[in-house]
Amino acid sequence: MPKKDEHIHHFKEEGGFEMDISMKKGSIDDPFTEVPPADKMIVFLRQHIGKETKPLVEEGASVKYGQKIGDNQDAGPMVVPVHSPVNGTVEEIKKIKHPISMEQEKAVIIKTEDEGKEPYYNPIDPDKASRKELLDRMREGGIVGLGGASFPTHVKLSEERDISHLIINAKESDPNLACDVRLMMEKGEDMIKGIKLMAKMLQVNNIVFATRTKKGEVPKFERFLERNDINITRIRPNYSVGSERLLVKEVLDREVPSGEFPPAVGAVVHNVATAYAVSEAVIRGESLVSRGLTLYSKKTGGRNLWVRMGTPVSHVLQNLGTSPEIFDRIAIGSIMMGPTIPNPSYPIMKATSGITAFTHSESSPYEKQKACIRCGYCNTVCPVDIYPQMIMEAEKKNNIDRLKKLHVEDCIDCGLCSYVCPSDIKLTPYLRRGQSKVKKSKD
């Protein structure tokens, strides 16, 4: 007989295995703790999925909290401005290895003067504002998707195709993250204001709030949803369903075609944290310069933190009374998807939903990779039915045509293929590089 609530602490996946998410349980009960800014903040000029912004400030310039310090409107709609997370002085603008692209990209180094947080922009009356005014604020405020992809929010919300449903993704599939659920508990009313603003910009009436929480787990927030006529859909305990294309299938039973995105089938998906950021940008005039995230390690347990973009990971750890030296590896993101940073001086960015730290006694399972045994388990567990092992071989040979035929672009970067590999092969980097090569071949 299964234990009470056992299903909450395991995700059931394709291929006949379960993923333990019990580490999430303790984090849910931990309220957000605000981390003060570091003496020096490191702000990358690209924190979105598009091209890099150009610096709008020079070394020695004074900057205000929320002030725009990077933009590039000539580079097209996929570029989103970057803002200063503090009142301070620009010390340096230099190239640093970007933790996502792993290429040298520009960052603005700002010396912090104080911890002030006066919003830089004027509030907008959501009832009187036009759609264009709201969309302009999305871009000007630097709002991007906070679920991980950092897709420019103003682009998603300016969709001109016929959209029938706005789906709010509160699935939070990652085994060790709880910041989205915590945000629902602490900022629920503001989040719903953001959801309503998104619906206004999209010009849709049907809103679905998709969550893995059980009925009664966040009762106050559920009452807010009901009062605002927002439908709640309870999602089955499955890790990969958190991906937007799979979530659309789960919620609306609509298949997003290969190479397409949810608007192709009349849906737009936004993360709960993005909804809160939308509300803050419009109602308070806040630029996107801080976010909630979950820090997890066996040393600290799960901690929910509110951190400004540009804060070095080392400062976050030290603020909690933990030395970065005790950790062998640190990933910015979840235990399944987060890229490992070269050292703890790397900063929090818009896409950083978590910090996952491993002590020296926790060796990487991928340190001693063995030869592929062609078992096919990676293919079996893949939620989008592509072939990770074949893609790895094609990427090694730089066979772009083969990568296209294997639909590498459909990869959702879930990490399940690496997770189950009996040869301890980290397949995910091959898929990421394969996607990058295909994308560059089209440019």
Q: What pLDDT shows up at residue 315?
A: 98
- The Cα–Cα gap between 251 and 67 comes to 39
Mean pLDDT per 10-residue section of the chain, whose length is 443 residues:
44 73 83 98 95 96 98 94 98 93 93 97 97 98 93 95 96 90 96 97 96 90 94 88 92 93 96 98 98 94 96 97 94 89 94 94 88 95 95 97 96 92 95 92 82
Query: Bridge partners of 356?
Result: 296, 331
Q: What pLDDT shows up at residue 9?
A: 62
Strands 290-297, 354-359: pairing is: parallel
Taking each helix axis as running N to C, give the angle between helix 272-279 and helix 179-186, from 0 to 180 degrees, rounded to the nearest 10. Answer: 40
Tokens of 163: 């959209």
Q: What pLDDT shows up at residue 1?
A: 30
- The Cα–Cα gap between 233 and 213 comes to 10
Main-chain phi, psi angles of 161, to 5 degrees: -70, 165
State how far the alpha carbon of 206 is from the alpha carbons of 10, 32, 116, in Å. Answer: 31, 31, 39
Task: Cite the DSSP H helix spans in 286-407.
Answer: 313-319, 377-381, 388-396, 400-405
Q: What pLDDT shows up at residue 430?
A: 95
CA atoms within 13 A of residue 301's CA, in its CB half-sphere: 8
- The Cα–Cα gap between 15 and 192 comes to 37
Q: What pLDDT shows up at residue 376?
A: 94
User: What class has domain 40-114?
Assistant: mainly beta
Q: What pLDDT shows up at residue 4?
A: 37
Q: Does domain 131-284 have CATH number 3.40.50.150?
A: no
Domain boundaries, the chain: 40-114, 131-284, 377-442
- The Cα–Cα gap between 233 and 211 comes to 6
b or e along 354-389 (b: 16 or more beta carbons within 10 Å of the residue's beta carbon)?
Answer: bbbbbeeeeeeeeeeeeeeeeeebbebbbbeebbbb
Burial of 129 per CB tally in 10 Å (0-12, 13-18, 19+): middle
